[in-house]
Amino acid sequence: MRIDPPITPHDAPSRPLTVLVLGPTAGGKTALAVELALTMPGGGECVSADSMQVYRGMDIGTAKPTMEERRGVPHHMIDVADPHGGAFTVADWVDGAQVAIEAIHARGKHAIVVGGTNLYIKSMVEGMFDGPPGDPDIRARLEALPTEILRGDLAHHDPIAASRIHPNDRRRTVRALEVWMITGQRLSELQQQWSDAPRALPPRTHAVGLEWPVELINQRINARVRAMLAGGLERELVKLLAKGPLNRQAIESVGYRELLRHFAHECTIEEATEDICVRTRQFARQQRTWLRRFKAIPGSIWIDSPLRTAPEAAREVIGTLFGS
């Protein structure tokens, strides 16, 4: 395991942490996250950062952790959306994840954010870099204004933030204007500084990354895909379709889209299987590109996964975080 020297002091585990468990698909993130939740001093709970595991009924194809795999550890942001309903946005996940993390910390537990949806974790981390502490007077003045005026002001002062924040997201609109009024800097510029050159994570937030040689992770991906199909992925999709058409996000999910082509007699099951393997390997390659940014963060912890079981990796992570 390679560990970059931490830059923040490791105080006693009396205050809960947020741990980001990162890595390629099929790389063992869930097993490590659960092990950390069970063995970190004070215990922890998991927050899923997977854009497809949010959907109810999409279990096998998303590698949603089973109850056995969760080992009694509470998991949040799983099964929170209807695959037949409207789209589930990044903002929906960030809002839900932040509420879950705050509640976990309030219970004195550590929050372990685990998943492979890069945009989710990136958006959450950027949200942590959202400027200075709030100013109650400025916030009150902004809150008194209609949303339409707030949106117009934001478009004028920070058009990039205005384009990123949903028109109905009043809370983030107010926050972006508050940052500009306090600092004279655009929130989008502060966030871009993080995107361009990741620095230290916020206090009591740590990144743990799993590293795999490409050849080995591709073998694991191929084995997982075949296990999903043997485990009933086709039946799962038939059951989902019996309840109605899937929304656009769900229908584009890796595995489901390929099987839909098979159902439409556009390819054989063997061809669909190979297509799922190829697309999943492509996804893992995209994840590796994104993970390189996190390796630049001081204090991040990187594990040579083929050399460590989940319990071994968890022990080393805990020793690094708590100095034991």
Same domain, 125 and 169: no
Residue 3 confidence class, pLDDT cut points 50, 70, 90: very low
Same domain, 180 and 249: no
Same domain, 170 and 56: no
Number of domains in the chain: 2
Tell me whether strands 301-304 and 2-3 are parallel, antiparallel or unpaired.
Answer: antiparallel
- Pick the last residue of a domain from 201, 231, 251: 201
Average model confidence (pLDDT) for the chain? 89
Q: If you average pLDDT over residues 272-293, what whole number do you get?
A: 92
Cβ neighbours of residue 289 under 8 Å, at least 6 residues apart? none
Q: pLDDT per residue over 158-208, tens digit each? A: 999 898 787 878 888 998 899 889 888 888 887 666 555 555 677 789 999
Q: Mark 284-306 as b/e (b = at least 16 C-beta within 10 Å).
A: beebeeebeebeebebbbbbebe
- Residue predicted with more confidence, 187 or 39: 39
Question: Which residues span the domain enclosing 157?
Answer: 130-201
> Which CATH number do you get for residue 191?
1.10.20.140
Same domain, 215 and 306: yes
Q: If you average pLDDT over residues 245-273, what whole number do you get?
A: 96
pLDDT given at position 7:
29
The single-letter code of the amino acid at 166 is H
Contact 302, 4 (CB under 8 A): yes
pLDDT given at position 291:
87
Same domain, 238 and 288: yes
Same domain, 124 and 134: no
CA distances from 173 to 87, 120, 153, 183 (A): 21, 19, 9, 16
- Residue predicted with more confidence, 60 or 293: 60
Contact 310, 28 (CB under 8 A): yes
Rounded Cα distance between 26 and 32, Å, is 12
Same domain, 138 and 94: no
Helix and strand numbers (H, E) in the chain are 15, 7
Lay out the sheet containing 301-304: strands in order across: 2-3, 301-304, 205-211, 18-22, 110-114, 44-48, 75-76
**Looking at the predicted structure, is the pLDDT value of residue 151 above 70?**
yes
Same domain, 141 and 96: no
Could you tell me what percent of the chain has a pLDDT over 70? 90
Same domain, 150 and 96: no
- Pick the last residue of a domain from 171, 201, 231: 201
Rounded Cα distance between 111 and 43, Å, is 9
- Extract the runs of DSSP E, i.e. beta strands, from 217-300: none
Rounded Cα distance between 186 and 181, Å, is 9
Q: Is 37 left (phi over 0), alpha (psi -120 to 50) or beta?
A: alpha
Residue 1 confidence class, pLDDT cut points 50, 70, 90: very low
85-89, 133-137, 241-245: which range is least confident on average?
133-137
> Which CATH number do you get for residue 306?
3.40.50.300
Q: Cβ atoms within 10 A of the Cβ of 140, count?
A: 9
